[in-house]
Structure 1
Amino acid sequence: MSTEASGKKENPSKGEWKCPFSEGYIKREDVRKVWKECHEQSFWYRALPLSLTSMSITGALIYNGIWKKSKRFGPFPKLAAAGILGFAVGKVSYMSTCRRKFQELGPGIEPPFGPWSGPFSHGQRSCQHVCEECKKKAQAAPTE
């Protein structure tokens, strides 16, 4: 028995048609959970260790006289720069892992950072294919 013959609409929400191949929306709680997990793991597993390691190496180079410390500020500018650079490299190096975690939520989900995301893409997915049946149903859908 078809949906038209039974009198039921394919999508009961306000006459709006949705593609049968797209689930439409991912729960915000799931997106927030993955986002928080990405932030925490990128900090503890990449950013902090790389930051501390780069600061330690810089400190050792300054202590051994290979690098000169600043006459006015001492070793602190070089140590701070090494720490910030290590932190940034650590965060960026975790982006591919984070992207994979977001893609596990469903096809079309991208993390809310970087050039692949937009301001309205948090947790939403769209139909990635275009078929003739979808075009016909989209044109036939009543507009309000």
Structure 2
Amino acid sequence: MWLTLWFLSFSNIIIQGLTILAPIDSPNTDGIDPVKSGWDKYGIKVGIPTEHLVFRRLTCISPESATIALGSEMSGGIRDVRAEDITAIDTQSSVRIKTAVGRGAYVEDIYVRRITLKSMKYVFWTGSYGSHPDPGFDPKALPL
């Protein structure tokens, strides 16, 4: 059974006591990937950022993905993200910022403290995610 939590245009959500389990060899199994502020030209047009996120007391094992992923559907922008008291074990990256040409918008004010890393490939990973389900994306819309 797979569980996906996907929120759009939300505020004041608290999730506590959550355990997420996936087969260890599953691809693209980020521990927490809440940032969906819009996709390509549609997210740019609406322009509602994902902001004021706090992650606390999280433990993640994810050899193929990230403990916390921001994006890739981030065309409305991402700002003011706080992560603290995090343990990442045998995880590809602790924080992964997924962007791509055509996404536009910005990622800013990401703050991480008291993070314990064990057997990591990348501490912070940023870069092109390269995924565009919409063929009409604007190649001039560059993320900041």
Higher RCO, 1 vs 2 (CA within 8 Å, ≥6 residues apart):
1
Larger radius of gyration: 1
Q: If the length of structure 1 is used for normalisation, what is the TM-score? A: 0.24
Q: Which has the higher helix share?
A: 1
TM-score with structure 2 setting the length: 0.24
